[in-house]
Each structure stands twice: as structure tokens, then as C-alpha cells.
Structure 1
Amino acid sequence: MAGPGEVVVDVERAGVCGTDAEFFSGAMSYLHTGQARYPVRIGHEWSGTVSAAGPGVDRKWLGRRVTGDTMLGCGRCARCRSGRQHVCADRYEIGIRNGWPGALAERLPVPVKALQALPDQVDAALGALVEPAGNALRAVRGAALPPGGRLLVLGPGTIGLLTAQIAAAQGAEVHLLGRSPESLEFAAAVGFPRAWTTETLPDLPWDAVIDASNGPESPALAADLVEPGRRVVYVGLAGEPSPVDSRTLALKDVTAVGVLSGSGGFAGTVELFASGEVDPRPLIAATVGLDDVAAALAGERRPGWGAGPKIHVDPRS
């Protein structure tokens, strides 16, 4: 049942991401800081159809295909009032923080203010990729690349590849840095042949470096590699502290940008998907039912699943 200012969404797709796997393993930092606790219903990348509307919600939302922001601010504090609800100290995060239930279920409650309508050109799979791609879009914006600039993305996972796709669509020369041959082969297969290891990385001037990895050494590497006077963007998170020497940033006059969530990137991402400029569906290795979620969270790869980094769930199957 939808509460005041809320809708209920019938979930059609939900993405499984690294945060979900950390909840499954117990490594998620919020579990240790008190911002989350078990039991928790995970899932924050989703799409579906509005099936119920609570008091105060425009009935036009009924039957609309939607996705939505993960970050739910209180709406009253100075951060929320200035458009920074994603860093509200009292925020809920769908399927992550302070107990708001997630999308690995048939139905999901969502505040109407968090909804993003989906046009017909954006199917359920694309809709469930809007949230991670919103992070990627914000990372590309934060990089402030010059026209035709050269971008290095650290980490060819879902966020890294989405970042690469969005930057390439905007005319950037995109390179990826990874570790495993499999991930680099997949990057090449989806259109990014400039995929390197630290041993093979060419000595080129990087107009921006985006760290989309989970390696604790990557933030310092990003600062070391970027051209002086340019930008590094941190959108990946390691499981342990990631030291960066502030002298490197200062002496190179580098701007460091942090990205938390896709907030502010949803509308732009939907436009990119709807236009066909960016099509991330090849990143989806498989779409499974709820019975297979535990295997996906444990990192298993079932026969018949593809090589992509993303697993989707159809809770109706």
C-alpha cells in the first residue's frame, strides 16, 4: 500500500551490483557504522510500472513506466533545500540505508519525488541501468574533458564501461585500465580496444582519469597519471582506505571530484538511452529469477550466462 507522497512500483527488472554483494557477504561498510542492519531487502537499480498511488500523488503516475533515484533526502535540511538530497545526513537509500526496502521483490515503495519517467524507447533492461549510468554520466561531467580529450577509465566493470560508453558518445578518446584478461577482452568486444594493464598502458597525456575501480591503490594512481591542471574523478570505492598524497594534487594543480550516486544524472541518462547514443544492454550477462539471486550475489557464473559484468533479475519469473 502506498503511503502519503509515495507510489508502489511493480518491479520488472532489478540489477545486482557490488553493493548488493557486499551486503550478502557482510563486508558492506554501512553494516559496521550502523547506517544499515539485517534484515535488509537489497536492490537499488530497477525499473517497473506504477501500480498504486498514495495520498497527495497525481493519479497520472498510475500505469507509468518508471525508474527512480536511490537517495531519499529528508526534504527539510539545508542540503536537501539546495538540491543535495543525496548527501542528506538523514537520508534513506533504497535497498541500502536506514531500512528502506529494495527492488529485489515484486513490488517497491518509492516517494513520487524520486521517480523518473521512462519513454517507450527505454525498455525494462535499459530502465534498470539508468541508476548506475547516472553515476557514470556524473563522472564524465565531473571530468570536464576538453573537446576530443583523452580519457583513462580505471576499472572495466559496469560503472567503468558505462562511463566509457558515455564519454565516447560525447567524442572522447577512451582508454580502459584493468587487470584480468577476460575483462579487457570483453571491453574490446563492446567497442573499446584501447584496454590495457598497468604493464601495457601507453605513456600518453591523460586529459582526465576516472577511477571506477575498487582497488585501494587506484586513487593514487589516478592522481599520478592525470595531466597537470586537469581532473581526476573518484566514483569507485575500495573495501579499505585508499591513500592519496595531497602534495601530488597540489603540485600538479589537479582537481579531484567525488561522485556519490546517480542523483542529478537520471534525466540525462534516459535521454542518452532513448536516443540510442548509448546502448549498455550488451553489459548484461543474464536476466534471472529471484531463485538465482543468491548465486549471483556469491559471484557464481552459471553455464549460459554471458561475459558481461551485470546480472539482472526479473522478479516475476
Structure 2
Amino acid sequence: MRAFVLTAPGQYAVHEVPVPVAAPGEAVVDVERVGVCGTDVEFYSGAMAYLHQGHSSYPMRLGHEWSGRVAAVGAGVDPVWVGRRVMGDTMLGCGACRRCRRGHQHVCEKRQEVGIRGERAGALAEQLAVPVSSLHVLPDSVDAVLGALVEPGGNALRAARAAAVGPGDRALVLGPGTIGLLVAMFLRAAGAEVHLMGRGDNSPAFAHELGFEYMWTEESLPDLPFDAIVDASNAVQLPDMALRLVEPGGRLVYVGLAGAPSRIDTRTLVLKDVTAVGILSASPGLDDTIRAYADGSVDPRPLVAATVGLEEVGPVLAGERPVGAGPGPKIHVDPRSG
């Protein structure tokens, strides 16, 4: 089968590789859509911390936001899975440690991460093998495009819920990329008044197209009380800015990661009686995200700017926009095309 393989920083190729075989407890999936993520870009540049911590190494196959259809199953797996449309959890815990037993497999010390960590091949290929325990069934109303948006959506849903806002509350999202916009959609679905802050490029116009009235830059941000602030950016200075801006008694949610340590003054955190929450992984939010997409309360389709084949993944990772791409921040890949 064909697969996109990253061989070193900035070096890649589409290779013919052996088709996966389902081990006991696993399923092989025909991949239909894969989202290109900021984490993939970090592996492409060589900046991803896992490379320097020994959790990941080249060559590697990227792709952790995906959807597809089960083609085969291994020993011990109910054959009823064959033919089901699915997406999969990125985080694969060991299943035996204290964290896994408590339902926190996404922070298991020995976890694998599909297309990211522990030499678990990702979905930028025609087929993918994963544990059947990681699969989530997609209803008919959630097609391949929406299915590949469930994983980032799960992160966003968890961040929005951690903000704990609803009607009568005002929330600010820092960083209107894929995750930030998804967070904004879930906050809006909860009934909050949603504001976004980004850079002064095309973000304001696109946010308005999505129905968000309040889009600001750091310079234009009005002096308003924000009951919750979600930092979905990679800017090192914004976690501290969020703490300074949030209302006393409010909530801060950190879901973005900066390339260098970002610092906050915990004295301010205490004196403002603020709750701060960190969000890693979509795992606990996947099923509810699927339901939100299925019932239409959140529609992330406009976020997808273009769909490309495996041969075009390299240029996308290098920062090139596909010809004819729309304004959205997300690029999808159809491994079967081309």
C-alpha cells in the first residue's frame, strides 16, 4: 500500500509499504480521511519535543485525526466490526497501570500515540492497524470529513466544558486556529457569548463567516469582563495575559502549547481565586463530540479548506496552501486519491 513517510526533518516520500495485518485485539481500517495537525508540522520541522525525549524517531508515519471503515479484524475481535465506519482514539494506554485502571489512559506513562509516539504507525496511508478498543463507531450522519474532525473536536469539547460557561457568561478564546474555532463552536452551543482574539490577517473575516460577531486582535481587545478564557494558541506570552484578563472567580483553560516555557504568576491566580485547567487529549470527549456532530449542534465542516492526496502532504507540512484552498485552517488528506 501507499504511505506518507517522514524520514528526517523536512524530508519525506510516499513509499510502497507492507499492508498491515491485524494482531490479536486489533482491526485494520481502510482510511478515508486524515487531518493534518500542528503536531505533524512540528515533526516535519524537527521541533517536536518527543523527538528529543526519545518517545519518537524517524522514519515515521504521521496522522492521528482520521476516519475510515473496518476492513479486517484480528483474533479475539468480534467479526461484527468489519464494515463499520469508525474513527479512533489517538492515545493507547498500556491498560494495566494505575492511570489506565482509573480511566486515564491518555496520560499513561507507557502510552503509544497513533502517528506520534511509541512507533505506532499513523493514518497517512491507505490502511491503518489499531486496537479495536480504541475505535468509536460513526453514525450515518457523521461522514468521513466530520469523522476526521472528531479527534480535534474532542480536545475542543473538553476545553469548552472546562470553561464551565453558559447563558449570561462571556468567554474569550485566544488563537482562532482549528482547536480555537472548535472551542468557540462548543462554547456557543453552550449558550455563552463568545469572543475570539487572533492576529490581524484573514482570521476576522473567516470568524464572521462562521457567525462569530466578536473577533479582536491583542491591540483592539475591549476592556470587558471575561468569565472564562481558553488559550488555544502557541504564543508564549498569552497564558499570562489570560490570567491578567480573566474575571476574579473565573476559569482559565490551557489547551495550546508554546514552543518555550510559558509562565504565570501564581500569586495572581490565588488572589483572583481563579481555577486553571490543562487539557491534554480528546479521549474522554470523543463520544460526546460524535453526538454533537450527529445532531448538528456543532458543524465544523467550514474549517476544512482543502482535501489533498498523499503526494501533496509534504508541501502542506512545509506551509504551502493547496491551490484553490478555502479560508479554513484545516487541510484534509484522502490517502486513496492520486
Question: Structures share a fold, TM > 0.5?
Answer: yes
CA deviations 1:133-184 (Å, max 9, x no partner) are 0000000111111433111000000000000011111111100000132122
1:48 to 57, 65, 68: 68
2:271 alignment partner in structure 1: 251
Partner residue of 1:138 out of 154, 158, 163 = 158
Which range moved further: 100-109 or 184-193? 184-193
C-alpha separation in 2, matches of 1:272 and 1:166: 9
Query: Identity across aligned pairs (percent)?
Result: 66
2:247 matches 1:227: yes
User: Is 1:113 the equivalent of 2:133?
Assistant: yes
Letter in 1 for 2:40: D
* Paired residues for 1:232-311 under 5 Å: 232-311=252-331
Deviation at 1:26, TM superposition (A): 0.5
- Secondary structure of the structure 2 residue equivalent to 1:287: strand
Aligned-partner SS, 2:187: helix
CA distance in 1, matches of 2:130, 2:310: 21
Partner of 2:208: helix, strand, or coil?
A: helix
Instruction: Spell out, residue by residue over 1:10-39, the C-alpha distance to the aligned partner (whole angstroms, 9 max, x if none).
Output: 100000010001101101111111111111
Contact 1:130 1:269 (C-alpha < 8 Å) held by counterparts? yes
Spell out the pairing of 1:1-317 with structure 2 (5 A cutoff). 1-317=21-337
After TM superposition, the runs of 4+ consecutive aligned structure 1 residues lying more than 4 A away are: none
Report if aligned partners of 2:255, 2:278 keep a CA contact under 8 Å in 1: yes
Distance in 2, matches of 1:248 and 1:38, equals 42
Report the secondary structure of 1:40's partner residue. Answer: coil
Question: What is the rounded CA distance, in whole Å, between the counterparts of 1:277 and 1:130 in structure 2?
Answer: 14
RMSD over aligned Cα, in angstroms? 0.8
| Structure 1, 155-164 or 294-303: larger mean CA deviation | 294-303
1:21-77 CA-to-partner distances (Å, cap 9, x unmatched) read 110110111111111111110100000000010111111111000001100000000
Shift of 1:190: 1.3
SS in structure 2 of the partner of residue 97 of structure 1: coil
Q: Which of 76-85 and 146-155 deviates more? A: 146-155
1:95 is paired with a residue of what secondary structure?
A: coil
TM-score, normalised to structure 2's length?
A: 0.93
How many Å apart are 1:198 and its aligned residue? 1.1
Q: Is the 8 A contact 1:156 1:184 kept in 2?
A: no
CA contact (8 A) 2:166 2:187 kept: no
Contact preservation (8 Å) 2:306, 2:322 = no
Partner Cα separation in structure 1 for residue 127 and residue 168 of structure 2 = 43
Q: Which runs of 5 or more structure 2 residues have no equivalent in the other structure?
A: 1-20
Give the CA deviation at 1:303.
Answer: 2.5
Give the distance between the partners of 2:265 and 2:60, measured in 1 at CA: 37
SS of the equivalent of 2:335 reads: coil
1:88-117: CA deviation from partner (whole Å, max 9, x where unpaired):
000000000111000100111111111110
Check the 8 A contact 1:2/1:53 in 2, yes or no.
Answer: yes
Secondary structure of the structure 2 residue equivalent to 1:36 = coil
Measured after TM superposition, the shift of residue 199 of structure 1 is 1.2
How far 1:239 sits from its partner (Å)?
0.8
Distance 1:285 1:60 in 2: 35
Letter in 1 for 2:172: L
Aligned residue pair count = 317
Please list the CA deviations of residues 216-244 of structure 1 after superposition, one character each: whole Å capped at 9, or x if unmatched: 01111111111111110000001111111
Q: Which moved more, 1:300-309 or 1:86-95?
A: 300-309
Assess if the C-alpha contact under 8 Å between 1:208 and 1:231 holds in 2: yes
Comparing 7-16 with 147-156, greater Cα deviation is found at 147-156
* SS of residue in 1 equivalent to 2:250: strand
Report the Cα distance in structure 2 between the residues aligned to 1:274 and 1:12, rounded to whole angstroms.
Answer: 18
Report the 3-state secondary structure (helix = DSSP H, G, I; strand = E; otherwise coil) of the residue aligned with 1:265.
Answer: helix
Q: Is the 8 A contact 2:66 2:123 kept in 1?
A: yes
TM-score by length of 1: 0.99
